[in-house]
Amino acid sequence: MSDTLELPWPIPDERFRHWAGQFADMHDLVRDLVVPPGLPQAAESVMTTARELIRMSYYRYEFLMIGAATSIIAIEPALADRYGRGSLADHLKKARADSILTDEQYGLLDGFGRPIRNKYAHGDLTHAALTPPLAIGIVRTSLAILTELHSPPSP
């Protein structure tokens, strides 16, 4: 008998059956979550991870929340670089006032993303509820903010 344990192959999470019939459908769900060129390497890595967590949520539904929280974590330092010290809530308000965020994007990040990120940071993520479209919207908005914050200034 071997001393190593092999993990079973992943099976689809039953909670995802309404959103994707097979794993290949997940590619379509995340297709527009394109990490733009020119982001700092750390932000690119974190956003790629966030996207892949959304894709892998087909096998573990909670990956939706972790992917959304991860994308929020990626924008926090970029917002802090722009606005200095302060809370994520304050930075999001400033980004909305500066037209970096639309009202809709602000509502998505502040109303859904920030609470998910807080639950993730405090180890209480299992009680967070998020649908794939909301999680994808949070990641898409995080990508938009990072793109805006890291784009070269216009001449």
Q: What was the pLDDT predicted at 71?
A: 94
Query: Closest Cα to residue 116, out of 90, 93, 139?
Result: 139
Indicate the domain borders of the chain: 22-30+37-150
Q: What was the pLDDT predicted at 153?
A: 60
Residue 12: other Cβ atoms inside 10 A:
15
User: pLDDT at residue 40 above 90?
Assistant: no
Mean pLDDT of 30-51: 92
6 contacts: CB under 8 Å, gap ≥ 6: none
Q: Helices 114-121 & 88-97, crossing angle to 10 degrees?
A: 160
As a whole-number percent, the residues of the chain with pLDDT over 90 amount to 60
Q: What was the pLDDT predicted at 154?
A: 58
Question: Residue 120: enclosing H or E segment and its boundaries?
Answer: helix 114-121
Q: What mean pLDDT, rounded, does the chain reach? A: 88
pLDDT tens, position by position, 96-146? 999 999 999 999 999 988 888 888 778 776 655 788 999 999 999 999 999
Domain 22-30+37-150 class, CATH top level: mainly alpha
DSSP-derived secondary structure letter, 26: H
Q: pLDDT-derived band of residue 63, with 50, 70 and 90 as boundaries?
A: very high
Angstrom distance (rounded) from CA 107 to CA 101:
9
Q: What was the pLDDT predicted at 126?
A: 62
pTM metric for this prediction? 0.86
